[in-house]
Amino acid sequence: MLSVVKRESPVTLAREVLWRTKKRWRQKHLPGKLQQLSCPVKYRPVSYYQPQLEQMGKYEREVILRYADAICAGEFPWFAYGPVSLGFPPRWNLDFVSDSTWPELPSEAIQVVRYDGSDVKVPWELSRLQFLPVLGKAWRLSGEKRYRQAGRDLLSDWMEKNPTGVGVNWTIAMEAALRAISICLFVELLGPWTPEDDPWVIRVTKCLWQHLLFIEANNEFSHLSRGNHYLSNIVGLFCLATFLQGPRIVLRRRQYQQLIEQEILRQVYEDGGNYEASTGYHVLCLEMFTNTFRLMRCQQIVPAPTFTLRLRSMYRFLGAMTDAHGRVPQLGDCDDGRVELLCDDLEQMLKTAPADRHSLTVSGLLGIGECLFAESYGGRRREAPWYGQAPESREDSDAQVTRQCSLSLPNSGLAVARNGDLEVVFTALPNGIGGKGSHTHNDKLSLIVRIGEEELFTDPGTGCYTRNAELRNHFRATAAHNTIQVDGEEQNRILASPTELFRLCDDAHVSPIEVQEQNGTLRLRASHDGYCRLGITHSRTVRLTPQPSLKIEDVLTGSGSHSFQAFFHLQRLRQVDIVGARGEEVSCRINLGPRVVKMSCKAPVELQLACVPTRISTAYGLVHEATSIMVGGHFRTSVALVSHISWEG
């Protein structure tokens, strides 16, 4: 925090002090507001869902019902762990992985992160209650009252066991905001109500009102740095102000709409990328903005044109990053956060084999964008019937999306290039939130390489946050990415303290990616100065040729004697045969599905090629053993390493 404060003007710091003073005043007076017996608001349905159940596909029905059946049996599915037997109802304050619990104390007295192997995200994720709308959908699809009753029972138990302001699930406003959205959507799916339901609906409405008061008192706004936490607060408040009616609610609705319309211009680059340097948080923020957009439509509210344009750009960005299987590389942090669980999410959570799960499978989300903006992003419109729209036809689902040979996203620091079967994602992401971000990885000049439908070089993912500091830093490190490390140092220094797990030093600054096309060859080039403290600059040029080949040229320039390692991380179970391990040219063969890929590396210095064990993560908390190819050597002043990758078509 001190490094952030030093960069700010006295005016900004004064505004921050004033804001925090007001926030403490609101927090101090919150208990008095919560103790008021009367609730001044009522719940109102807004037709967020407009289900056309006859249009729902058979497979989508089956996935929703399978997930709902698991919940009814006390088995709660997760991206990393699959269905886990937690009981019905579950223990809402339990991290089942470490068998740790948090005490039932006032939330401000609870130590959230304890550095003892526990992870607060487990009870938080469970208490977002995002299984509730799925149970509501299962009730709508099947007419079976057990799904409806299960959802009511779980929500009733949660409210009883988690009084407002008490326990680990009330420690930050973001969790309350995402939970409030889940409750609002669930209650709408259970309508229309009978007079017998009134006492329960009144109780839930009071709970929603208390959520609104809690979020307002604990708003995570800051003049210094803000990201998805603050965004979730105002999106949750807008949702609550939409589904509730009463005194000052209309004023709140307008206020939070305006704040969201302003925040998308701050948190989303003009090219559609999220400014936290993370594809996982791009997906979460995209879902939050989409939720707001749909709620506006329900009320015949016309969004600001700049909001709509920026939201459309976010879908275009996501579509450009997606592979043939509907998956997005997990650049930067990814903790699998969602606003609403879609069929893709349920499908991944229910997969038996952990190795088959990938939490950033987003074809259904892209399909929602296609319905909203009448553009093709390579998605599947499997969610459309819930929103009163027709799903894709067979012709639509089988159609191939025409993709550009190259697409530069200059603000986000990304380029996507394609040539035949080859697809490359080149990353030169600026450090998140202008260097203040907490979700940045040391992935400057890294590559994601796909050949056909197979991923050759992969991003490692996230692994975990606070459960294991060593694992957290492993996945953030330079050596975990497909780039060059010099002298064993980091592009952005990683501080050793476990209290610094969400901060990197702002050392590495990237140049814009240059994109050129000439005679059928695509050329991408960028550089970064993360090693300037060592006297070294790293530049990388990537060439996609008309032949089935890829050429990567890394140039390290500066002064003095240094060592370097180039890393190429493979998906799990890839077999590598080393052909030449030492010399000025080293080489190997990689089995990639039906293909054999040849890779050779040349430099005017002695090189060593080795296969080393590494770890990759395709969902938060899910870690696989994998293999990395490492090519290293020593040099004085400067060196050029040329890597050539080829295969037969």
Residues 70-107 have pLDDT tens digits of 999 999 999 999 999 999 999 999 999 999 999 999 99
pLDDT band at 255 (very low <50, low <70, confident <90, very high): very high
Q: Quick check: 558 and 551 in contact, CB under 8 A?
A: no
Q: Three-class SS of residue 114?
A: coil
Cα 483 to Cα 444: distance, rounded to the nearest angstrom: 7
Cα 196 to Cα 187: distance, rounded to the nearest angstrom: 15
pLDDT at 397 over 80: no
pLDDT at 398 over 90: no
User: Per the omega criterion (within 30 degrees of 0), is the bond before 391 cis?
Assistant: no
Beta strands in 79-186 (DSSP E): 82-85, 94-95, 100-101
Residue type, 185: L
CATH annotation of 406-647: 2.70.98.70
Cα 153 to Cα 150: distance, rounded to the nearest angstrom: 5
Q: Quick check: 328 and 362 in contact, CB under 8 A?
A: yes
Q: What pLDDT is recorded for position 192?
A: 87
- Note the pLDDT tens digit of each residue in 262-286: 999 999 999 999 999 999 999 999 9
pLDDT at 402 over 60: no
Q: Which segment of 5-9, 290-294, 352-356, 380-384 scores lowest on mean pLDDT?
A: 5-9
Q: Three-class SS of residue 513?
A: coil
Q: What pLDDT is recorded for position 394?
A: 40
Residue type, 240: L
Token pair listed for 616 = 């990759």
pLDDT band at 403 (very low <50, low <70, confident <90, very high): low
Q: Where in the chain is the domain with CATH 2.70.98.70?
A: 406-647
pLDDT at 352 over 70: yes
pLDDT, mean over the chain? 95
pLDDT band at 37 (very low <50, low <70, confident <90, very high): confident
Describe the crossing of helices 173-190 and 132-142 by its angle, rounded to 10 degrees: 10
Q: How far is CA 82 from CA 121, 359, 436, 634, in A?
A: 16, 12, 34, 45
pLDDT band at 392 (very low <50, low <70, confident <90, very high): low
Cα 186 to Cα 56: distance, rounded to the nearest angstrom: 19
CATH annotation of 38-218: 1.50.10.100
Q: Please tell me the number of Cα atoms within 13 Å of 390 on its side-chain side.
A: 6
Q: What is the mean pLDDT of residues 572-585?
A: 96
For 52-80, letters b (16+ CB in 10 Å) and e give eeeebbeebbebbbbbbbbbbeebbbbbb
Q: Quick check: 317 and 310 in contact, CB under 8 A?
A: no
Q: Quick check: 276 and 332 in contact, CB under 8 A?
A: yes
Q: In sequence order, which residues have a C-beta less than 8 Å from that of residue 367 and are 6 or more positions away?
A: 379, 380, 381, 382, 383, 384, 392
Cα 17 to Cα 132: distance, rounded to the nearest angstrom: 39
Q: How far is CA 638 from CA 424, 537, 604, 605, in A?
A: 26, 9, 10, 11
Q: What pLDDT is recorded for position 400?
A: 44
Q: What is the mean pLDDT of residues 557-563?
A: 97
β 595-619/422-427 pair status: unpaired
Residue with tokens 């939330």: 107
For 191-206, letters b (16+ CB in 10 Å) and e give eeeeeeeeeeeeebbb
pLDDT band at 353 (very low <50, low <70, confident <90, very high): confident
Give phi and psi for 38, each to the nearest 5: -85, 150
Give phi and psi for 51, each to the nearest 5: -65, 135
Q: Quick check: 335 and 80 in contact, CB under 8 A?
A: no
Token pair listed for 383 = 């969610």
Burial group, residue 425, by CB count within 10 angstroms (0-12, 13-18, 19+): buried
For 241-257, letters b (16+ CB in 10 Å) and e give bbbbbeeebeebbeebb
Burial group, residue 87, by CB count within 10 angstroms (0-12, 13-18, 19+): exposed
- Note the pLDDT tens digit of each residue in 444-487: 999 999 999 999 999 999 999 999 999 999 999 999 999 999 99
Concatenated DSSP letters of 540-588: EEEEE-SSSEEEEEEEEEEEEEEEEEEEEEB-TT--EEEEE-EEEEEEE
pLDDT at 390 over 80: no
pLDDT band at 630 (very low <50, low <70, confident <90, very high): very high
Token pair listed for 416 = 């996507």
Residue with tokens 């839930």: 204
Token pair listed for 335 = 């903790």
Q: Three-class SS of residue 579?
A: strand
Q: Quick check: 614 and 557 in contact, CB under 8 A?
A: no
Q: Three-class SS of residue 554?
A: strand
**What is the CA 420 to chain-centroid distance, rounded?**
29
Q: In sequence order, which residues have a C-beta less than 8 Å from that of residue 545 and are 6 or more positions away?
A: 419, 520, 521, 551
β 576-580/582-592 pair status: antiparallel
pLDDT band at 162 (very low <50, low <70, confident <90, very high): very high
Token pair listed for 254 = 């307008």
Q: What pLDDT is recorded for position 1?
A: 58
The number of residues making up the chain comes to 649
- Note the pLDDT tens digit of each residue in 92-148: 999 999 999 999 999 999 999 999 999 999 999 999 999 999 999 999 999 999 999
**What is the CA 331 to chain-centroid distance, rounded?**
9
Please give the helix or strand (H or E) that residue 634 lies within, else none. strand 622-647
Q: Where in the chain is the domain with CATH 1.50.10.100?
A: 38-218
